[in-house]
């Protein structure tokens, strides 16, 4: 009799297990165990029944059975079916492959197995809430194995409840240990470490990583090794050790490629790109991230890995900042998230909020960040400070300056920094030195967040120094930017540099820097700042007596203000419009050139 499952063929008459036609070496009792389980596929076979069948008339312990099961799983792992033999604590073992495309004929389920199959089907259909409810009801009967509990934990996490997934994962870990599968227990420990790190509990995360390493020991398991090294790299970057993170992620990616798991390959590759960007290897890092996203899009990766891939890219785009690239990936990520999650994660709402704010819809951005903040308090407590910073920026662009300042204060209270938005508001009220001190504190940071944002922070420092006439400080910031010119190529950075040149210039061509800044903001697709510079240009044209040019700039800025929902821009446009009406045409002497408009960066 022959049985086919996956790429295997189990031939009872020839006593052979073949993988793609090649006979696999098996000890006789391991072969007999596999035959017995396959014949009873879909049924939990009690341990006593298995020991009686394999060792008739002999007294053996459960350790002998566990050893045979371990060897059978090792043989099946060569064809990717190491999970085909499921363990049920205090019950027995069950052979079943729950992926229909592998073509396993499973006998009729009893009532409990029918419910279990329903839970797995719901999870496969991404009905996470339904799957979690069925698993929870099955758990009362004690019929769940480690792999089942693992899927249950995934279903809970995909509902936007990562904290609630931790105790479920802890149970999965214990079940895997009881089943004699320490490598899978180690994977569960790494996932717990990930969730703890995202909850701002680095000590707990470190403890679970240590547990994962102890469980894995010297076991050869490229999947678990890749996952563990990936998490250790994340821990290193959170502590500001970018070079170490890159080295760990490179090893992680090699292990992922060895096991051929597309989800792990995409995950480890995107983080390699992230660390390369942090270290200034921009072109290489972006190429790695783009490749990783393409792998994730073209493969059936699980929602958590897919979310990590896209979130990683959007974090890089937002902090760098590279708004053009952010727009290219954000729409696809939004669609992917909606299809993969019962509840859109807070990090997704956070990305959407800042990208919308940078682009064209301040009201939509405010709604997105208001959705994100309550979720971030549970999902990713470490990033809630960035949520307050983003909301402060959005409110400042809308014109709600008092609430913007409150959000910046909340960002600081959460252990984050609120720059450059906080510094810009300070400078606009004449507190240039206080603003520069705030920027210097942010520039002194050593985390990945500060490293990636260094260019935009330096550009703001240059502009604010120019607002206060502090030429030496502005020149110092410019020198650092020029020393790594290949790293800071973003239009937003160069727009700010040109605004600073405009403020510092004393010749008749100073306005050309302002025109170039407007063009750069426009090319970056950042409508608020393009309109802000247009209004400064209108002011310059009024002073020069060029009323036609002033009207053109004011009209364009007003259209933008209405479209993106900025009452601050509308109010400033109205003020400049009044000057246009009342001011007589006259040449504008450069020595009396008005100060830059008090409009937020």
User: Three-state secondary structure along 314-350?
Assistant: HHHHHHCCCHHHHHHHHHHHHHHHHHHCCCCCHHHHH
- pLDDT tens digits along 463-507: 999 999 999 999 999 999 999 888 898 899 999 999 999 999 976
Output 160 or 193, whichever has higher pLDDT: 193
- N- to C-terminal Cα distance for the chain? 75
Q: What is the pLDDT of residue 379?
A: 67
- Residue with the two structure tokens 């800044």: 517
User: Which of the four pLDDT bands, split at 50, 70 and 90, describes residue 6?
Assistant: confident
Partnered with residue 88 across adjacent β-strands are 92
Say whether both 598 and 498 belong to one domain.
yes
Q: Are 333 and 351 in contact (CB under 8 A)?
A: yes
26 contact partners, CB below 8 Å, separation of at least 6:
17, 34, 71, 72, 75
Residue 599 has pLDDT above 60, yes or no: no
Nearest CA-CA partner of 41 in 86, 74, 99: 86
How large a percentage of the chain has pLDDT more than 90? 46
CATH code: domain of residue 25:
1.10.10.10
- pLDDT at site 469: 94
pLDDT given at position 319: 80
Q: Does residue 562 belong to any structural domain of this protein?
A: yes
495 and 600, same domain (yes or no): yes
What does the pLDDT read at residue 583? 66
Residue 536 pLDDT greater than 70, yes or no: yes
pLDDT digits (tens, 9 = 90+) for 128-149: 888 899 998 888 777 788 899 9
pLDDT top residue among 39 and 402: 402
**What is each CA distance from 122 to 110, 116, 131, 146, in whole angstroms?**
18, 10, 5, 18
CA distances from 334 to 58, 269, 327, 347, 361 (A): 61, 21, 11, 11, 16
Q: Are residues 478 and 568 in the same domain?
A: no
What digits encode the pLDDT tens for the residues 354-397? 877 766 789 888 888 888 888 787 667 678 898 999 999 999 99
DSSP 3-state percent helix, strand, coil across the chain (nearest 5): 70, 5, 25
| Domain range enclosing 82 | 2-107
The model's confidence at residue 111, banded by pLDDT at 50, 70 and 90, is very low
**Last residue in a domain, options 88, 107, 126:** 107
Distance of CA 141 to the CA centre of its chain: 37
The 10s digit of each residue's pLDDT in 430-467 is 999 999 999 999 999 888 788 888 999 999 999 999 99
**507 and 534 within one domain:** yes
* 449 three-class SS: helix
Query: Do 512 and 448 fall within a single domain?
Result: no
Q: Is residue 397 in a domain?
A: no
Q: Which of 89-93, 221-225, 597-601 has the lowest mean pLDDT?
A: 597-601
Residue 303 clears pLDDT 70, i.e. is over it: yes
Q: Is residue 50 part of a domain?
A: yes
Residues 37 and 75 in one domain: yes
| Block residue for tokens 């601050």 | 568
pLDDT of res. 260: 87
- Exposure string of 227-258, with b = 16+ CB inside 10 Å and e = fewer, is bbbbbbbbbbbbebbbebbbebbbbbbebbee
Work out the mean pLDDT of the chain and round it to a whole number: 86
Task: Check residue 249 and give its pLDDT.
Answer: 96
Residue at which a domain ends, from 483, 513, 539: 483
Q: Are residues 23 and 64 in the same domain?
A: yes
Query: 522 and 461, same structural domain?
Result: no
For residue 191, count CB atoms less than 10 angstroms from its CB and return exposed for 0-12, middle for 13-18, buried for 19 or more. Answer: buried
Worst-scoring range by mean pLDDT, 266-280, 364-378, 528-542? 364-378
Identify whether 473 is part of a domain. yes
* Whether residue 412 has pLDDT greater than 80: yes
Radius of gyration of the chain (CA): 30
Q: 517 and 588, same structural domain?
A: yes
Task: Say if residue 122's pLDDT is above 60.
Answer: yes
Q: Is residue 494 part of a domain?
A: yes
Residue 538 lies in a domain: yes
pLDDT digits (tens, 9 = 90+) for 82-102: 778 888 766 788 887 644 333
The proportion of the chain whose per-residue pLDDT surpasses 70, expressed as a percent, equals 90
How sure is the predictor about 22, in pLDDT bands with cuts at 50, 70 and 90? confident
Distances (CA, A) of 179 to 41, 293, 449: 18, 36, 41
448-463 burial: b if 16+ Cβ within 10 Å, else e: bbbbbbbbbbbbbbbb
Instruction: Provide φ and ψ at 45, rounded to 5°.
Output: -90, 120
pLDDT at 7: 73
Neighbours of 471 (CB within 10 A): 11
What pLDDT, on the 0 to 100 scale, is given for residue 235? 93
Q: Is residue 543 part of a domain?
A: yes
Residues 474 and 501 in one domain: no
102 and 38 in one domain? yes
pLDDT grade, residue 585 (50/70/90)? low
- For residue range 27-82, what is the model confidence (pLDDT) as tens digits? 999 999 999 998 887 778 888 888 889 988 888 888 888 888 888 888 888 777 77
Q: Is residue 315 a contact partner of residue 278, using CB atoms and an 8 Å limit?
A: no
Q: How many domains does the chain have?
A: 3
180: closest CA among 61, 312, 10, 63? 63
Query: In sequence order, what are the residues at sequence separation of 6 or more whose Cβ sits closer than 8 angstroms to the Cβ of residue 225?
Result: 216, 252, 255
Residue 208 inside a domain? The answer is no
* pLDDT over threshold 80, residue 229: yes
The distance of Cα 600 from the centroid of its chain, to the nearest Å, equals: 28
pTM: 0.70
- CA dist 302 and 299 (Å) reads 9
Which residue, 84, 107, 130, sits at the end of a domain?
Answer: 107
- pLDDT at position 338 over 80: no
Residue 110 confidence class, pLDDT cut points 50, 70, 90 = very low
Q: What's the average model confidence in pLDDT over 408-414?
A: 94
Instruction: Give the residue among 317, 311, 419 at the shortest CA–CA distance from 359.
Output: 317
Task: Please tell me whether residues 454 and 504 are part of one structural domain.
Answer: no
Is the model's pLDDT at 353 over the cut of 50? yes
């Amino acid at each position: 009799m022959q049985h086919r499952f996956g790429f295997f063929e189990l031939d009872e008459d020839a006593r052979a297990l073949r993988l793609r036609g090649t006979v696999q070496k098996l000890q006789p009792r391991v072969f007999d165990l596999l035959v017995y389980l396959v014949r009873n596929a879909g049924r939990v076979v009690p341990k006593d029944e298995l020991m009686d069948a394999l060792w008739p008339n002999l007294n053996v312990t459960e350790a002998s059975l566990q050893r045979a099961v371990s060897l059978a799983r090792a043989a099946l792992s060569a064809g990717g079916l190491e999970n085909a033999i499921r363990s049920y604590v205090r019950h027995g073992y069950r052979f079943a492959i729950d992926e229909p495309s592998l073509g396993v004929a499973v006998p009729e389920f009893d009532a409990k197995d029918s419910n279990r199959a329903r839970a797995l089907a719901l999870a496969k259909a991404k009905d996470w809430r339904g799957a979690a409810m069925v698993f929870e009801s099955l758990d009362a009967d004690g019929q769940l194995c480690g792999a089942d509990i693992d899927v249950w934990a995934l279903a809970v996490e995909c509902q936007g409840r990562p904290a609630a997934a931790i105790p479920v994962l802890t149970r999965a870990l214990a079940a895997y240990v009881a089943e004699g599968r320490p490598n899978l227990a180690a994977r569960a420990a790494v996932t717990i470490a990930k969730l703890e790190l995202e909850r701002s509990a680095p000590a707990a995360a470190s403890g679970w990583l240590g547990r994962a390493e102890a469980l894995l020991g010297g076991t050869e398991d490229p999947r678990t090794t890749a996952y563990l090294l990936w998490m250790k790299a994340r821990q290193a970057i959170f502590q500001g050790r970018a070079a170490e993170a890159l080295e760990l992620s490179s090893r992680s990616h090699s292990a992922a490629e060895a096991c051929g798991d597309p989800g792990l390959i995409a995950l480890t590759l995107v983080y390699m790109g992230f660390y390369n960007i942090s270290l200034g290897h921009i072109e290489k890092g972006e190429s790695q991230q783009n490749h990783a996203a393409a792998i994730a899009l073209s493969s059936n990766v699980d929602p958590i890995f897919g979310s990590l891939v896209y979130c990683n890219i959007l974090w890089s785009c937002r902090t760098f900042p590279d708004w053009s690239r952010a727009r290219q990936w954000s729409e696809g990520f939004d669609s992917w998230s909606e299809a993969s999650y019962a509840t859109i994660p807070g990090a997704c709402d956070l990305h959407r909020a800042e990208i919308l704010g940078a682009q064209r819809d301040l009201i939509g951005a405010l709604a997105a960040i208001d959705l994100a903040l309550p979720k971030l308090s549970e999902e990713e407590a470490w990033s809630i400070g960035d949520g307050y910073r983003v909301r402060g920026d959005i409110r400042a662009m809308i014109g709600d300056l008092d609430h913007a300042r409150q959000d910046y204060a909340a960002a600081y209270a959460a252990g984050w920094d609120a720059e450059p938005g906080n510094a810009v508001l300070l400078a606009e009220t004449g507190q240039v030195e206080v603003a520069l001190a705030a920027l210097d504190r942010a520039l002194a940071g050593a985390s990945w967040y500060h490293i990636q944002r260094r260019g935009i922070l330096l550009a703001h420092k240059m502009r604010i120094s120019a607002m206060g006439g502090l030429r030496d400080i502005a020149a110092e910031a410019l020198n650092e930017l020029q020393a790594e010119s290949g790293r800071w190529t973003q239009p937003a950075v160069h727009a700010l540099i040109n605004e600073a040149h405009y403020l510092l210039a004393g010749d008749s061509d100073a306005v050309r820097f302002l025109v170039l800044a407007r063009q750069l903001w426009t090319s970056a697709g950042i409508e608020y700042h393009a309109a802000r510079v247009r209004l400064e240009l209108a002011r310059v044209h009024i002073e020069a007596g060029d009323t036609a040019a002033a009207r053109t700039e004011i009209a364009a800025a007003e259209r933008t203000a209405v479209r993106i929902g900025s009452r601050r821009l509308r109010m400033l446009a109205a003020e400049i419009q009044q000057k246009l009406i009342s001011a007589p045409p006259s040449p504008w002497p450069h020595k009396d050139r008005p100060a830059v408009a008090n409009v937020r960066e």
